[in-house]
Amino acid sequence: MNKMILGRYLPGDTWLHRLDPRTKISISFYFIVIIFFADNVLSYALLLAFTFGVIFSSGINQKFFFNGVRPLFLLILITVFFQLFLTRGGHIYWSFGPFALSQYGIRSSIYVFLRFMMIILMSTLLMLTTAPLMIADAIESLLSPLKRIHFPIDQIALMISLALRFVPTLMDETITIMNAQRARGVDFSDGGLVKRIKAMIPVLIPLFVNTFSRAGDLGTAMESRGYSGEGERTRYRKLTWARRDNIAWAVMLLLTGLLFILRN
Residue 59 lies in a domain: yes
For the whole prediction, is pTM greater than 0.85? no
**Largest alpha-carbon pair distance within the chain?**
67
| Domain limits for position 48 | 1-130+240-264
- The β-bridge partners of 101 are 94
Confidence band (pLDDT; 50, 70, 90) for 254? very high
CB-based contact 88:102 (threshold 8 Å): yes
Confidence band (pLDDT; 50, 70, 90) for 30? very high
**Could you give the number of structural domains in the chain?**
1
Residues 188 and 89: their CA atoms lie apart, in Å, by 42
The predicted-structure confidence for 171-196, as pLDDT tens digits, reads as follows 778 888 888 877 877 776 666 667 77
Residue 227 lies in a domain: no
Residue 91 lies in a domain: yes
Residue 194 lies in a domain: no
Most confident of 35-39, 166-170, 208-212: 35-39
Other CB atoms within 10 Å distance of the CB of residue 147: 12
Averaged pLDDT, 228-243: 73
Q: What was the pLDDT predicted at 225?
A: 79
Averaged pLDDT, 106-126: 87
250 vs 74, residue with greater confidence: 250
Interhelix angle 62-86/41-56, nearest 10 degrees: 160
Q: What was the pLDDT predicted at 192?
A: 67
Nearest to 10 by CA among 55, 49, 41, 48: 55
Residue 232 lies in a domain: no
Residue 233 lies in a domain: no
Residue 230 lies in a domain: no
Residue 39 lies in a domain: yes
Q: What was the pLDDT predicted at 137?
A: 82
